[in-house]
Amino acid sequence: MTKLFRRFLHGTSKPSFTLIAPRSLPTQKKSMLQKMGSIFTTGRQFALQYIKGGQQLSKNARLVGEIKKRISKKGYIPTRNESLLIYDTEDDFRKVIPFFMILIVLPESLPFLLMRGSDIIPSTCTSQEQI
């Protein structure tokens, strides 16, 4: 028997492919103040994420501008990473205007649109958990 198979049989370590749902004990009902606090915290986290994503998008735009100048002046051939940065940044800029229009006009509908798909959100405004 292999080591992995022995471990699996004896339960000394769980294989990495096994996902077990977390068990939670019944909790007490939250008060209205606790619910409001958690809603405020979640909203604050999303706002910070969008702000940081916007800052990253502006940094990417500056880098893309520099790369495009090098391409046009010297006949520079961009690396694969630079080409991907150019493509992703241009794609993100196409998503910015509809995203912020929805964020300003209909902010309460944003979670439903996020569940539908992340095609509307710029890639710099998403976290690893949302991908």
Which residue type occupies 110?
A: L
C-alpha 87/C-alpha 9 separation (Å) is 49
Residue 121 and residue 95 in contact, taking contact as beta carbons nearer than 8 Å: yes
Task: Give the pTM.
Answer: 0.60
Q: What pLDDT, in 10s, does the model give residues 13-48?
A: 444 444 555 566 666 777 888 878 887 888 788 788
What pLDDT digit, counting tens, does each position of 65-120 carry? 999 999 998 788 999 999 999 999 999 888 888 888 877 877 777 777 666 666 77
Please give the Cα distance from 64 to 15 (Å, whole number).
43
DSSP-derived secondary structure for 20-85: -PPP----PPPPHHHHHHHHHHHHHHHHHHHHHHHHHHHHHHHHHHHHHHHHHHH-PPP-HHHHHH
